[in-house]
Amino acid sequence: MLAEYQKLKEKELLFHKTIQKANEGVKDQRKEVRVAQRQLIIDVGDYHAKFGELEKEKATEQRKVKVDRKKHAA
């Protein structure tokens, strides 16, 4: 009876260690995902900033063209 109990305790300890290792792996993966998400947010922000600058330049150019057309029309 005592030997069976000891075997069950050893199995329980083994399961506990296995679960603990799995949880550590999951934590590492979560960390990697968070880092990737942050990088993606930064990249998207950079893209929007560049796109915004291009749109600003395009709008400025269009205003210049409009002003030039008015000058030539007058």
Residue 61 lies in a domain: yes
Residue 69 lies in a domain: yes
Residue 10 lies in a domain: no
Sign of CA dihedral 22, 28, 33, 34: positive
Residue 6 lies in a domain: no
Q: How many domains does the chain have?
A: 1
The parent domain of residue 48 ranges over 35-74
Residue 27 lies in a domain: no
Residue 13 lies in a domain: no
Residue 18 lies in a domain: no
The tens-digit pLDDT sequence of the chain (74 residues) is: 788 889 899 999 999 999 998 888 888 899 999 999 999 999 988 888 888 888 889 999 999 888 888 888 76
The CA dihedral of 69, 70, 72, 74, to the nearest 10 degrees, is 160
